[in-house]
Structure 1
């Protein structure tokens, strides 16, 4: 009898998930999410792209408890795959290049929010397994107290006398895209990262690569001179600490514009709460929440309040940014990056 009950529950759950994905039955979804009562995320901390306001909204509007464990895109996918039916996470946020990896590994489930049609086709999976909620562009953040001439280009960066941190290359999407941005600026692309590898190899030979985590705490303590990171993180950290203490700029000789997507764990214990979270993220308010965190919303028709718009960098900074066009090539390059980084960059570190 117990085995029959479990099987019936599983069938009902699968049928309900399919119904939600196809029909966007909001009343049913909200009711089911409230019964679950909680949503557990990975890689969606309060300080990243202002996820804090989204979690606050979900608690206030639907009574959902929330907890996040911060980790990289690769770690999120590995966690979903390793835990399977013992899942401790319901939803995660991964870099664009990792979206297809997650689907290929069979750790995601689809859900199309009611605003699905207003998401550009290039930014979503046709089955609903992933969709970019916001875009980011690789930027420089410089501590004005430590760096006399903040870099505006990659060429400036190479000619400086300060240490540069790019984060955990080969693991974190932000760091990988930092390498790709440098490649674009130096004549490379998704298929050819060699110009960037050579560039960072030169920095390493100068003894100028820093392995300090470019976190807000380390920036505040003055342990980071120049960091390469997404514009939304750099602007957020700058304003959290002291606006005049840091310079944030998009490298004018080339950068990459990409984005992040939620992935809902195929094995989630709270699948409906995860789907409701995605629904809210793509709502007008959810998109404004992201912009409050300096992330540019994917739904461009959402009107941002002036005070939110003013927090972002001017459009003129983005004249020489490149979207990723060949994702298969980028996936291949990103998979080879850890070894290339070890053999051609870290080996040269002075």
Structure 2
């Protein structure tokens, strides 16, 4: 999962999706310079991992010397701190190549005879896809019992580390009243002031359509209410065709943007703009997980499994929260971290997806087709 539009959707679901939150581009980002090149054959699967003492495991990981990831760059969800903590603990190096969820799985498969990457972070719909293609390793992390059933594969092939929810980022210098719901966005006072990325391409925007559908009684199997909402928004002239990114927010060109909460909260924190506020719509939103996966052919299998365990530890879950991604575990956050996030009560109307296979079909096929056929013709 990366920072490109496909991913960040809290993301490829997501983003997309959902990506959430979820996040992906091309490019390479490294915490350190990687050593340990591709192996010529599928790696030993570390079958004895669970039986090793901490000292024995540390020796195994140090001997591997490196861990390689796809779609987990330093700039996403505070991975810089997460990677730094993990690699320093074991004295190994880390390299990441940023890419979309779909690209991550494709690379796992294409490189199986000469594997490169050990782990990845993907939109939740890609977890079942990787499992069905037999390119992932099952591993139930040490905190498995604390993860909600909807956020993990029963056999351990994928598990959510954090979530993202659709929010509004609002510039109070551009609007008199802060909108609280999708219904509010249809009011005349928001004429030419509501922006969303292109749902034909962006996972984040597709999640925005799903959130609007939830606000009107729809869901992943019935996306038409969300399409109808945006059709009405366009008809009212309230839509402003502008990409919702940090640059446009900083320039004051975004009055109301529909984006992941971890993006909106992060940008508010980075920009130090007092006029920015973040709202989770009260009539409906969607919460989507990103999931951690381990490459079946990981060249550094001990490091891969140890890192997967680490992602669900209190330390890493708090680090995610520092990056404005909501931890999947109910960990106690330091006050200085918690105060930067929205309270749990803000998410009362946010729902999770029940059928991710259906959502995958809806996001990849139905939304792009319906947006082109029904929404775009209404643009003024």
SS of 1:344's equivalent in the other structure is: helix
Contact 1:138 1:230 in 2 (8 A): yes
The aligned counterpart of 2:305 is 275
Provide Cα deviations, 1:264-295, integer angstroms capped at 9, x if missing partner: 22333333333222111111101111111222
The aligned counterpart of 2:164 is 136
| 1:314 corresponds to which of 327, 340, 343 | 343
Contact 2:186 2:238 in 1 (8 A): no
The aligned counterpart of 1:146 is 174
SS of 2:153's equivalent in the other structure is: coil
Provide Cα deviations, 1:26-55, integer angstroms capped at 9, x if missing partner: 544433332333333333233432222101
Instruction: Confirm or deny that 1:328 pairs with 2:323.
Output: no
How far residue 344 of structure 1 moved from its aligned partner, in angstroms, is 3.1
Instruction: Confirm or deny that 1:13 pairs with 2:41.
Output: no
Distance 1:55 1:305 in 2: 20
How far residue 87 of structure 1 moved from its aligned partner, in angstroms, is 4.5
SS of 1:108's equivalent in the other structure is: coil
SS of 2:48's equivalent in the other structure is: helix
Contact 2:41 2:113 in 1 (8 A): no
| 1:230 corresponds to which of 257, 260, 268 | 260
| 2:127 corresponds to which of 91, 99, 106 | 99
SS of 1:244's equivalent in the other structure is: coil
Contact 1:36 1:270 in 2 (8 A): yes
Contact 1:147 1:162 in 2 (8 A): no
Could you say if the C-alpha distance between residues 114 and 202 of structure 1 is closer, same or farther in structure 2, counting changes exceeding 3 Å? same
Instruction: Confirm or deny that 1:219 pairs with 2:249.
Output: yes
Contact 1:24 1:112 in 2 (8 A): no
Instruction: Confirm or deny that 1:109 pairs with 2:137.
Output: yes
Contact 1:72 1:172 in 2 (8 A): no
Deviates more, 1:272-281 or 1:252-261: 272-281
Distance 1:12 1:278 in 2: 17
Structure with the largest fraction of helix? 1
Q: How many residues align?
A: 338
Distance 2:216 2:135 in 1: 36
Could you say if the C-alpha distance between residues 158 and 207 of structure 1 is closer, same or farther in structure 2, counting changes exceeding 3 Å? closer
Distance 1:319 1:24 in 2: 43
Deviates more, 1:47-56 or 1:279-288: 47-56
Instruction: Confirm or deny that 1:39 pairs with 2:62.
Output: no
Contact 1:163 1:210 in 2 (8 A): no
Could you say if the C-alpha distance between residues 269 and 253 of structure 1 is closer, same or farther in structure 2, counting changes exceeding 3 Å? same
Could you say if the C-alpha distance between residues 58 and 198 of structure 1 is closer, same or farther in structure 2, counting changes exceeding 3 Å? same
How far residue 251 of structure 1 moved from its aligned partner, in angstroms, is 0.3
Deviates more, 1:113-122 or 1:336-345: 336-345
Instruction: Confirm or deny that 1:258 pairs with 2:265.
Output: no
Q: TM-score, normalised by structure 2?
A: 0.79
How far residue 314 of structure 1 moved from its aligned partner, in angstroms, is 2.0
Contact 2:41 2:114 in 1 (8 A): no
Distance 1:166 1:19 in 2: 48
Instruction: Confirm or deny that 1:195 pairs with 2:225.
Output: yes
Deviates more, 1:135-144 or 1:269-278: 269-278
SS of 1:80's equivalent in the other structure is: helix
SS of 2:257's equivalent in the other structure is: strand
How far residue 12 of structure 1 moved from its aligned partner, in angstroms, is 6.9
Unaligned ranges ≥5, structure 1: 1-8
Instruction: Confirm or deny that 1:246 pairs with 2:242.
Output: no
How far residue 116 of structure 1 moved from its aligned partner, in angstroms, is 1.9
How far residue 136 of structure 1 moved from its aligned partner, in angstroms, is 2.2
SS of 1:13's equivalent in the other structure is: coil
The aligned counterpart of 1:210 is 241
How far residue 248 of structure 1 moved from its aligned partner, in angstroms, is 0.2
Instruction: Confirm or deny that 1:156 pairs with 2:184.
Output: yes
How far residue 324 of structure 1 moved from its aligned partner, in angstroms, is 1.6
Contact 1:108 1:263 in 2 (8 A): yes
Q: TM-score, normalised by structure 1?
A: 0.85
